A and B are shown apart, each in its own frame.
Chain A
């Protein structure tokens, strides 16, 4: 319990940096207290081989992107080089295979529950896959449907069932990706997309828990409801599109009026020649 508290405390602090998706949260006062570089990276970053590799891998991960650093998962004290890896400071090191789901599940609570209830989770410790089997460990990236592929699944079993699940999810995933792209475009233009992003994140999360069910019927049933939510977000985007079109129309009218006024002034000037 002590470890858990430490980890949650540290996670809370590190999480304050948050994903670039939800940039508004960057203004959290806690973000200002975050040290630019933690001691773990200072030492391990320059080490060769297995012991330095995780730093390089982590740098390309979604965790790095969101400011979730070493200590968020492995515990320890990222500010004190001498005691950084002391168990007294909550250092956990690498989990054993059977402990991996609980390790990741400290943050990814909902996903862990779904996983443990699934055929994958029930086979934990009996040759079944853990989180890192599919997601990788340090270079964990944003989960997409691409994680379900023949090469990966057929390491353990035939691709048959996985293919069905993937096909059932394809359409919804496509919708999510398309909406995500549109939101990103608006965000790049200064539109306040925080509400849209939060909405999409929540739907995406609900959808992604289905990945861990490995139950085709369940996926099909849930997808309909999820698509309903996605359509709501899409409607909001379409409303934005329309208002931007209206702005352009008004702008064209304004420009025409200005050019006409310039023409009148020019002709008036000419009458004095």
Chain B
């Protein structure tokens, strides 16, 4: 113990570590009425770290070559000791990351935490969301199975609906007229190098904004729920008399992460094929389109929307408008009220939108 104290002292006199701990951990106070939904971000950080770790492990045996990719994944799943576990952790983790990301965004939406001065938190978060979609889409192709090949064909094809430049964009995206070995090369580079770096940078920015603005107060159980910020100057939202982040809320974060891990392991060990179809275990064949190719669950609503509109362009445009609207939500929704029950119109729109998204997804799944 004495040795530990001396080590800490040694570090402290050099970098002032105790001051940082006092300010950012034990002295970092959170609102007393904070709830579990505020730990979604911690879960997401944990998942991202897991994805990076399992991804690096997969890189050891994966071969990004159209002739060898499928075999290398089969080799990982069958020959390498615990390769199946590492790979399942990565695939299941990617899907659950999107799910937890939805929870995170929905809780921010319904607690109206995106409102000024937190526009930048929402915006970086929203870009992170599209980046996670991008890393999921590019990663989906890498096993070079029938499922990945044709899901990528369908997904990249929809870009062609953009007038004038659409066809060229599709070709540019694929690195050729059709999905093929060049597509694998560029998707691999995006998946393992570019997008992870962008995500890491955006996470940094997201956390920086959180640190500068301070944690928002949940609107529940408060007398005054209107947004107090006037926009007249920088103001750190502190919470005097609140609960310290460390150790109190840290335990809540840890609890959430372990509950997540229990669910995650449940899928990995008991429903490992929840996210796979038979086509996931057949090597890609550019000349044989399998029946019933569907995108991943989180793209089903987009997929169904594209099918609903008479022209692909219209379907794409509607989605573009919806995404832009959501990205700019804090700039559009400027009312000060933050309690969801005091905002019936907002609640109807938000719940309606959510139900529409789920409905489209279910429809897409069964269509």
Contacts and interface: CB of A to CB of B under 8 A. Distances in A.
A228 interface: no
A258 interface: yes
Q: Which of A20, A190, A248 has the most CB of B within 10 A?
A: A190
A187 interface: yes
Tell me the interface secondary structure of chain A in the complex: helix
B53 interface: no
Interface stretch (A30-38, A107-115, A164-172): A30-38
Contact of A192 (B74, B252, B266, B280): B74
B163 interface: no
B40 to A, nearest CB: 15
A248 B268 CA distance: 9
B48 interface: no
Contacts of A258: 258-259, 261-262, 265
Given A26-B282, A34-B287, A250 B251 contact: no
Given A31-B287, A262-B255, A265-B255, A188 B278 contact: yes
Nearest to B68: A27
Interface stretch (B110-118, B130-138, B269-277): B269-277
B70 interface: yes
A254 B247 CA distance: 25
A268 B273 contact: no
Given A27-B70, A262-B258, A269-B252, A36 B269 contact: no
A29 B66 CA distance: 11
Pick the most buried of B67, B74, B269, B270: most chain A CB atoms within 10 A of its CB: B269
Size band of the A side of the interface?
A: 20 to 34
Contacts, number: 91
B261 A187 contact: no
A250 B269 contact: yes
Contact count band on B: 35 or more
Contacts of A191: 77-78
B194 interface: no
B281 A188 contact: yes
Contacts of B287: 31-32, 34, 36
B67 A27 contact: yes
Contact of A254 (B265, B272, B281, B286): B265
B283 A24 contact: yes
Interface in B129-179: none
A210 B239 CA distance: 85
Contacts of B365: none
Contacts of A146: none
A261 B258 CA distance: 6
B71 interface: yes
Nearest to A256: B262
A187 B281 CA distance: 7
Contacts of B269: 247-248, 250-252, 254-255
Interface string B21-55: 00000000000000000000000000000000000
B285 interface: yes
A190 B255 contact: no
A189 B278 CA distance: 7
Contact of B276 (A27, A190, A265, A268): A190
Contact of B258 (A252, A265, A272): A265
A262 B255 CA distance: 4
B293 interface: no
A262 B283 contact: no
Nearest to A250: B269
Contacts of A251: 265-266, 268-270
A100 B45 CA distance: 68
B323 interface: no
Nearest to B259: A262
Contact of A27 (B71, B77, B259): B71
B93 to A, nearest CB: 14
Interface string A1-45: 000000000000000000010011011010110101000000000
Given A23-B282, A192-B74, A272-B247, 17 more contacts: A23-B281, A29-B67, A34-B287, A187-B281, A188-B273, A191-B77, A192-B78, A192-B79, A247-B269, A254-B265, A258-B261, A258-B265, A262-B259, A265-B258, A266-B251, A268-B251, A269-B248
Interface of A: 20, 23-24, 26-27, 29, 31-32, 34, 36, 187-192, 247-248, 250-252, 254-255, 258-259, 261-262, 265-266, 268-269, 272
8 contacts: A23-B283, A24-B71, A188-B281, A191-B77, A191-B78, A192-B77, A258-B261, A261-B254
